[in-house]
């Protein structure tokens, strides 16, 4: 028997190897278009991020190694151009020559190719897809060679989000766009996708949905995209929009296909005798709905290829169908997994789905590193049969895999309750988190708990409810706080017949309160599923009713109350060192018109303030700005937004202040955004000693320097010295006929360089002077310069981090950095910053209470 396999990645190599093991006398040959076989396609994003270091690690087998292990012949760089099913022959183009190959049985495992939209700029350098090792290698090399700092990823599916995480790991600012109105479309229900999107944003990845790609911009190479009516600048673009089956060579051949995907039965047989298909080019069945489903997953490819091989060699092995199982890493310690039907799919399939969103610990809560799962379970209301799961958290695969087994076996929720799952504090909870989710849904089905799903809350279902805060301490502004431990009867301020929405951190305390309140005669209590962790809970205020705690909270988000009005705020928009794009300018102006008075003011810290925003508009304004890649803030006991002068665009500028301040912004305003300091910490960068932005009046100021170097051999001692004449501060003098520069007077402005006609000063060193301990405000203090002149950006960035860490470690709550320096002594602080040991990890683990009031 001669078996020909077209395609040599997951399904092709799996099928060929198994066929050869089942029938050692069979002649098995693989024809593959690539130079590689059996590569780790799912590992490509992690090569981009550097977790997989070398190309060799991506290649599971070389052709030679594979042939030696299996006995299968492999022909690489061989593109099959047509198949004659009547003659049982395949025509291929192999290394420039046409090749005709016969077969007894044929396996088509050609996989899929990336979908590339036909928009302008699609073929510019800097535009990448992600399907082969060469794609990943080219992308990583481009990032490194061109020192890329920003990227746009088009597509918010599994691959797109994995690429985004790994590009961020390489230090890039990443924007993900998708034409759909949510991330992970058709994979996760909207509320779960919304929670994942918020977490991505918190991790620094910008996510724009409802934003279709219309153009890739650039001339010599890609420099951004036009999408959703706006331009987004970027150093590179990755297309992860989707894939298409690689089957165009089979068009018109008589092989049954749907939208290019090969139709197969449960034995992976096509409509043509002796022809089979598996992998990303084959259409399988959904195990629950029994409808055709394209399952372009490496797991499906391997499973179906093995079953195909067994069937082909005499042991009929049907494939039971897929469940749409998938798992994706979204960031450090945060992953997403799912299997089965979504709520919408279950309804479409004829079920009456009932759902619950709940949180459960992923291991014993007291064990180091413990976290939680946010789980959505879907079951059939009448039978309680498990239909699907979506879960966000750490080790989500264990939750998903239990659900896979349960769905495949047709189990009800109750069937899981007494299963003997493994338990020890480092691994799980005594009642498994999956079982906990089942129990919560069972309580909802039985009526023991009445709850509101996040989707209903987001749609406005709680409009007529009084919000009851059940967190351990008052947290939800405007809500009635109830101390759960003290509820032993009716609660003052809560009407027994009122509609009460009970809200806690994740849902458990709210359920406990509901249980007690029911006992005391409360008739309309509803638990908000997922609590404030899952939902963005807001209590609307009217006019002057906004309480001080809420004013303080929104102030921390950059919203400063306009004292002329009881419910209006001026919202501070961070401009990243004072430079923003024209598109961002337009978005800020549009935001001012939509949500405020239409006015925008500038602050002394080079931020912009949208004026007169009513309290009710704050959330919408901040969402609008976030979608444009902008953010509000700039308050609190932390590193504040960086200010910068014009730098090299000024005639006196000595350093690229925008470049340096952008790095400071990324590393310390963004990178240290969650690091609490004893007080605010302000950074400023000046391009020269003119000090236009007053760097020495900041906690840490950086000033560009140009240090002249005299070539005494070329000094002629001219009667009128051009250097002496040029020096603006009189540091250069002729002494005994030779030029001298007073080091104590020279401010390193560099204006004397190249002014001598005899080239006595042609050489100079560019550098940075650093001031520490400055401030303006109630107690103005001028910073003092460190004794060193730094000659590289790397030295300056390292020093800034050391200063922030030192301040966090040795500062006292409420004192500015200037106060810390005055208390400890400048010499001590300078020695510590320049020479001392600073343990970053231990300092960041400290608990620090901030003292900034604004």
Structure-model confidence comparison of residues 844 and 538, the more confident one: 844
Number of other CB atoms surrounding residue 333 within 10 Å:
12
Name every residue whose Cβ is closer than 8 Å to that of residue 764 and which is 6 or more positions away in sequence. Answer: 706, 707, 708, 709, 750, 753
pLDDT grade for 737, boundaries at 50, 70 and 90? confident
Domain of 121, CATH number, reads 3.50.50.60
Strand partners, 784: 772
One domain, residues 501 and 570: no
Residue 698's pLDDT is what?
95
Strand partners, 772: 700, 784
Question: Is the predicted pLDDT of residue 139 greater than 90, yes or no?
Answer: yes
Question: Is the predicted pLDDT of residue 544 greater than 70, yes or no?
Answer: no
Residue 267 in domain = yes
Residue 355's pLDDT is what?
97
Helix (H) or strand (E) holding 281: none
- For residue 145, the SS3 value is helix
The distance of Cα 829 from the centroid of its chain, to the nearest Å, equals: 37
Ranges of beta strands (E only) in 40-143 are: 59-61, 73-75, 78-84, 89-94, 97-102, 105-108, 112-114, 127-128
pLDDT grade for 607, boundaries at 50, 70 and 90? confident
Domain of 505, CATH number, reads 3.40.250.10
Question: Is the predicted pLDDT of residue 504 greater than 70, yes or no?
Answer: yes
- For residue 699, the SS3 value is coil
- For residue 201, the SS3 value is helix
Per-residue pLDDT, averaged over 259-287, amounts to 96
Residue 331's pLDDT is what?
85
Residue 344 in domain = yes
Residue 542's pLDDT is what?
58
Structure-model confidence comparison of residues 524 and 475, the more confident one: 524
Phi (first) and psi of residue 769, to 5 degrees: -95, 140
One domain, residues 419 and 561: no
How far apart, in Å, are the Cα atoms of 442 and each of 448, 449, 510? 8, 9, 17
One domain, residues 133 and 202: yes
Residue 203's pLDDT is what?
83
Work out how many domains the chain is built from and give that number.
5
Instruction: For residue 137, give both structure tokens.
Output: 């290698």
Per-residue pLDDT, averaged over 201-214, amounts to 89
Number of other CB atoms surrounding residue 480 within 10 Å:
17
Residue 354 in domain = yes
One domain, residues 343 and 387: yes
Per-residue pLDDT, averaged over 177-204, amounts to 92
One domain, residues 159 and 237: yes
To the nearest whole number, what is the mean pLDDT of the chain? 91
pLDDT grade for 549, boundaries at 50, 70 and 90? confident
One domain, residues 254 and 217: no
Residue 545's pLDDT is what?
66
The pTM is what? 0.76
Out of 189-203, 287-301, 532-546, 662-676, least confident range? 532-546
Residue 592 in domain = yes
Question: Which of the listed residues 187, 216, 241 is the one where a domain comes to its end?
Answer: 241
Residue 740 in domain = no
Torsion of CA 324, 330, 335, 338, to 10 degrees: -20
One domain, residues 122 and 231: yes
Domain of 616, CATH number, reads 3.90.480.20
Residue 558's pLDDT is what?
87
353 in Cβ contact with 378 (< 8 Å): yes
Structure-model confidence comparison of residues 652 and 386, the more confident one: 386
Question: Is the predicted pLDDT of residue 463 greater than 60, yes or no?
Answer: yes
Residue 604 in domain = yes
- The boundaries of the domain holding residue 308 are 2-112+245-312
Residue 749 in domain = no
Domain of 383, CATH number, reads 3.30.390.30
One domain, residues 130 and 229: yes
Eight-state DSSP code of residue 304: H
One domain, residues 108 and 249: yes
Question: Which of the listed residues 514, 534, 554 is the one where a domain comes to its end?
Answer: 534
Name every residue whose Cβ is closer than 8 Å to that of residue 306 and which is 6 or more positions away in sequence. Answer: 14, 15, 18, 317
Could you give the CA distance from residue 481 to residue 501 in angstroms, rounded to a whole number?
12
One domain, residues 211 and 165: yes
Question: Is the predicted pLDDT of residue 543 greater than 80, yes or no?
Answer: no
pLDDT tens, position by position, 6-64: 999 889 999 999 999 999 999 999 999 988 887 777 888 888 888 888 887 877 788 89
- For residue 261, the SS3 value is strand
Cα–Cα–Cα angle for 802, 804, 807, rounded to 5 degrees: 105
Residue 381 in domain = yes
Question: Which of the listed residues 192, 217, 241 is the one where a domain comes to its end?
Answer: 241
Per-residue pLDDT, averaged over 106-125, amounts to 94
- For residue 510, the SS3 value is helix
Ranges of beta strands (E only) in 186-309 are: 206-208, 213-218, 222-227, 230-233, 236-239, 243-245, 257-258, 261-263, 275-277, 282-285, 292-293
One domain, residues 345 and 441: yes
One domain, residues 430 and 463: no
Structure-model confidence comparison of residues 550 and 237, the more confident one: 237
Per-residue pLDDT, averaged over 94-105, amounts to 91
């Amino acid at each position: 028997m001669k078996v020909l396999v077209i395609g040599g990645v997951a399904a092709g190599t799996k099928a060929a190897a198994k066929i050869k093991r089942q029938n050692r006398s069979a002649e098995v040959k693989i024809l593959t278009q690539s130079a590689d076989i059996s590569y780790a396609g799912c590992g490509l994003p992690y090569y981009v991020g550097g977790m997989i270091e070398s190309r060799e690690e991506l290649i599971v087998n070389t052709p030679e190694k594979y042939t030696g292990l299996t006995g299968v012949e492999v022909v690489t760089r061989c593109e099959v151009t047509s198949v004659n099913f009547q003659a049982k022959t395949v025509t291929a183009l192999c290394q420039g020559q046409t090749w005709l190959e016969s077969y007894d049985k044929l396996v088509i495992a050609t996989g899929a190719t990336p979908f590339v939209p036909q928009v302008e700029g699609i073929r510019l350098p800097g535009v990448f897809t992600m399907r082969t090792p060469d794609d990943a290698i080219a992308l990583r090399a481009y990032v490194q060679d061109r020192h890329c700092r920003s990227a746009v990823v088009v597509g918010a599916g599994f691959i797109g989000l994995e690429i985004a995480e790994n590009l961020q790991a390489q230090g890039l600012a990443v924007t993900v766009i998708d034409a759909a109105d949510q991330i992970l479309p058709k994979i996760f229900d909207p509320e779960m996708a919304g929670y994942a999107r918020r977490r991505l944003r918190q991790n620094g990845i910008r996510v724009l949905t409802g934003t279709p790609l219309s153009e890739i911009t650039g001339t010599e190479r890609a420099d951004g995209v036009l999408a959703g009516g706006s331009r987004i600048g970027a150093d590179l673009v990755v297309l992860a929009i989707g894939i298409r089956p690689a089957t165009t060579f089979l068009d018109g051949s008589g092989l049954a296909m749907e939208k290019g995907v090969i139709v197969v039965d449960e034995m992976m047989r096509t409509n043509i005798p002796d022809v089979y298909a598996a992998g990303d080019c084959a259409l399988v069945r959904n195990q629950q709905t029994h409808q055709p489903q394209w399952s372009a997953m490496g797991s499906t490819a391997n499973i179906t290829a093995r079953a195909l091989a067994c069937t082909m060699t005499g042991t009929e092995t049907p494939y039971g169908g897929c469940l749409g199982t998938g798992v994706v890493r979204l960031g450090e310690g945060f992953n997403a997994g799912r299997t089965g039907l979504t709520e919408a799919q279950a309804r479409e399939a004829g079920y009456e789905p009932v759902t619950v969103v709940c949180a459960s610990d992923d291991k014993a809560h007291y064990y180091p590193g413990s976290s939680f799962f946010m789980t959505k379970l879907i079951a059939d209301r009448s039978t309680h049969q498990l239909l699907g799961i979506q879960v966000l958290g750490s080790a989500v695969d264990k939750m998903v895999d239990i659900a896979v087994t349960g769905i495949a076996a047709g189990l009800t929720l109750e069937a899981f309750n007494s299963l003997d799952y493994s338990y020890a504090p480092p691994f799980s909870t005594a009642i498994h988190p999956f079982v906990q989710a089942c129990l919560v849904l069972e309580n909802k089905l039985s009526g023991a708990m009445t709850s509101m799903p996040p989707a209903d809350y987001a749609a406005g279902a709680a409009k007529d409810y009084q919000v009851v805060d059940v967190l351990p301490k008052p947290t939800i502004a405007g809500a009635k706080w109830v101390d759960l431990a003290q509820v032993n009867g009716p609660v003052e301020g809560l009407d027994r017949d009122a509609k009460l929405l009970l809200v806690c951190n994740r849902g458990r305390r709210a359920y406990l309160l509901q249980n007690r309140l029911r006992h005391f005669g409360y008739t309309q209590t509803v638990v908000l599923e997922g609590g404030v962790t899952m939902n963005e809970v807001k209590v609307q205020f009217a006019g002057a009713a906004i309480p001080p705690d809420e004013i303080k909270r929104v102030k921390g988000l950059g919203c400063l109350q306009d004292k002329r009005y009881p419910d209006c705020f001026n919202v501070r928009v961070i401009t990243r060192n004072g430079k923003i794009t024209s598109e961002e300018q337009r978005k800020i102006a549009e935001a001012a018109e939509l949500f405020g008075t239409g006015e925008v003011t500038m602050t002394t810290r080079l931020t912009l303030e949208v004026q007169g925003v009513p309290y009710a508009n704050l959330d919408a304004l901040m969402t609008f700005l976030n979608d444009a890649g902008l953010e509000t803030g700039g308050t609190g006991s932390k590193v504040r937004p960086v200010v910068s002068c014009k730098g090299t665009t000024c005639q006196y500028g000595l350093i690229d202040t925008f470049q340096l301040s952008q790095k400071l912004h990324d590393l310390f305003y963004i990178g240290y955004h969650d690091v609490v300091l004893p007080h605010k910490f302000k950074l400023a960068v000046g391009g020269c000693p003119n000090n236009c932005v007053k760097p020495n009046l900041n906690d840490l100021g950086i000033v560009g320097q140009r240090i002249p170097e005299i070539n005494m051999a070329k000094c002629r001692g001219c009667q009128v010295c051009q250097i002496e004449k040029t020096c603006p501060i009189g540091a250069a003098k002729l002494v005994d006929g030779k030029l001298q520069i007073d080091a104590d007077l020279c401010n390193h402005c560099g204006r004397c360089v190249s002014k001598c006609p005899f080239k006595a000063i042609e050489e100079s060193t560019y550098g940075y002077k650093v001031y520490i301990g400055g401030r303006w405000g109630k107690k103005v203090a001028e910073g003092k310069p460190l004794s060193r002149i730094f000659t590289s950006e790397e030295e300056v960035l390292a020093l800034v981090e050391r200063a922030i860490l030192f301040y966090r470690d040795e500062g006292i709550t409420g004192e500015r950095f200037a106060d810390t320096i005055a208390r400890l002594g400048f010499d001590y602080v300078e020695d510590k910053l320049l020479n001392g040991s600073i343990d970053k990890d231990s300092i960041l683990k400290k608990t620090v209470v901030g003292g900034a009031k604004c």
